[in-house]
Amino acid sequence: MYITELIINGLIQGSLYALVAIGFTMVYGILRLINFAHGDVIMIGAFVTLGLLQLNLSWPILAILVLLIGALVGFTIDRIAFRPMRGAPQVTGFIASLALSLLLQNLGILIFTAQPRNFFLPEFFRKTVLIASLEVRYLSLVIIFSTIILLVLLLLFVKKTRMGIAMRATAENLQVARLMGIKVNHVIMLAFIIGSALAAFAGMLWGGRFGQIDPLMGFVPGLKAFIAAVIGGVGSIAGAAVGGYLLGFSEVLFVGLLPSSMSGFRDAFVFGMLIIILLVMPNGIFGTSEEERA
């Protein structure tokens, strides 16, 4: 039963990382930009949910609203921070995203204070169901299944629709895509919108899972989601999802199977993995980028 609980925890954590990693990888695939502010969209999603919960909406409407607001945030970030920097060297975009991230975090502290806030999801999510003699919350199942559904929808979109194909083309070669008549700026905007919507959605689930939110909650998860994207191969959506689940499982198993005194090393383990992957297998599992990384 202990192992069952670990597996379920791994699936939950993996789903959360996957949702965020997908957004990272979409923007990276097209712009070759590591967007640090992406993690903070999780935080925005969580706080927005907190606000919306006051309105007593039914939860499907709540979820859709969170997705829409996340999309709006993505659009704003692209327009205001990153569009003016198109064409700048890679490192400039990176520092800019770091600046944006700190800006968002400190705005959060300014508006909400650094004090953690309580997060109560509607009653529905807290009911439990018995799986393999373990009581599992509805919320946990929602997290796992909604991630899978969103992932499948996204993969269909990217494979079958015109816009999706345009995105893949732009990711493969931006200049040529532009020459072929694809509106590259629209594609980029779409990448930001979808990615941020997913991150905000993850923020809502994150708050529900742990019960507490604060303005700094998004940064480390964002960083870890980036690591997940790297593991899966940056630029590949399926890769980001796989990377997310791999990372979620590794974390949970690391803490769950090793003696408790070692659990403090979890973050060192995760970052160590990142450095090793960057050096040894820079394209990750599914990545095909020929970019010079090392």
Partner 1 sequence: MKQKSFSIPAMAILGILGLIFTAVADLMLSSYITSVISFIFLYMILAVSLNITNGFTGLFSLGHPAFMSIGGYVAALLILPVFRKEFFLPDLPPWLAVQQWPFFPAILVGGIVAALVAVIIGYPVLRLKGHYLAVATIGTIFIVRVVLKNTEELTRGALGLNGLGFLSSIWWIYLWLVITVYVAWKLKFSSWGRTMLALRENEMAASCLGINTTMVKIAAFVIGAFFAGISGGLWAHLTTVITPESYSLGLAFNLVVMVVIGGSGSISGALIAAGGISLLVEYLRPLEEALGMYGLGQILISAALLLVLIFRPKGLFGTGELSILRKEITYRSAR
Partner 2 sequence: MLRLTKRMKPIIMISLIMMAAMAMVFAAGQKEAAADAPIKLAGMYNLTGGFSSIDAPGLNGAQLQAKLINEAGGVLGGRMIEVVGYDTQSDQQAAATQAKRALDQGVIAGLGYGDTTFVMAAAPLFQSAGLPFVTSGATHPELPKWVGDMFFMVPFGDDDQSFAIAEFAWEDLNARKVVVWTDDSMDFTLALSKFFKQRFNELGGTIVHEVFFQTGDTDFSANIARLRDSGADAVFVGSIPNEAGLTVKQIREAGIDMPIISADGYDTELVATVPGPQLANDVYFSTHTYRNDDRPEVTRFVEAYREEFDRDPENAFAALGFDAVGLIADAIERAGSTDGKALQKALAETTEYQGVTGLIAYTRPSRVPEKPVAIIGVQNGEFEYLETWWPGN
- The contact set with partner 2 (CB under 8 A) reads 1-2, 5-6, 9, 113-116, 118, 120, 126, 128, 135, 137, 210-212, 217, 252, 255-256, 260-261, 263-264
Q: How far apart are CB 122 and partner 1 at their closest, in Å?
A: 31
Question: By C-beta, is 141 or 165 nearer to partner 2?
Answer: 141
Question: By C-beta, is 120 or 271 nearer to partner 1?
Answer: 271
Q: How far apart are CB 211 and partner 2 at their closest, in Å?
A: 5
Give contact residues for partner 1 (rule: CB under 8 A).
34, 81, 84-85, 88, 90-96, 98-100, 102-103, 105-107, 109-110, 113-114, 223, 226, 264-265, 267-268, 271-272, 274-275, 278-279, 282, 292-294
Taking CB within 5 to 8 Å according to partner kind, which of partner 1, partner 2, none is near residue 115? partner 2
Taking CB within 5 to 8 Å according to partner kind, which of partner 2, partner 1, none is near residue 290? none
Q: How far apart are CB 59 and partner 2 at their closest, in Å?
A: 17
Question: By C-beta, is 122 or 282 nearer to partner 1?
Answer: 282
Q: How far apart are CB 280 and partner 1 at their closest, in Å?
A: 10
Taking CB within 5 to 8 Å according to partner kind, which of partner 1, partner 2, none is near residue 212? partner 2
Taking CB within 5 to 8 Å according to partner kind, which of partner 2, partner 1, none is near residue 173? none
Q: How far apart are CB 46 and partner 1 at their closest, in Å?
A: 18
Taking CB within 5 to 8 Å according to partner kind, which of partner 2, partner 1, none is near residue 9? partner 2
- Give one DSSP letter per residue of the chain, joined into a string: -HHHHHHHHHHHHHHHHHHHHHHHHHHHHHH----THHHHHHHHHHHHHHHHHTT---HHHHHHHHHHHHHHHHHHHIIIIIGGGTTS-HHHHHHHHHHHHHHHHHHHHHHH-SS-EE----HHHH-EEEETTEEEEHHHHHHHHHHHHHHHHHHHHHHHSHHHHHHHHHHH-HHHHHHTT--HHHHHHHHHHHHHHHHHHHHHHHHHHHSEE-TTTTHHHHHHHHHHHHHH-TT-HHHHHHHHHHHHHHHHHHHHHS-GGGGGGHHHHHHHHHHHHHHH-TTTTT--------
CA–CA dist 45, 38 (Å, integer): 11
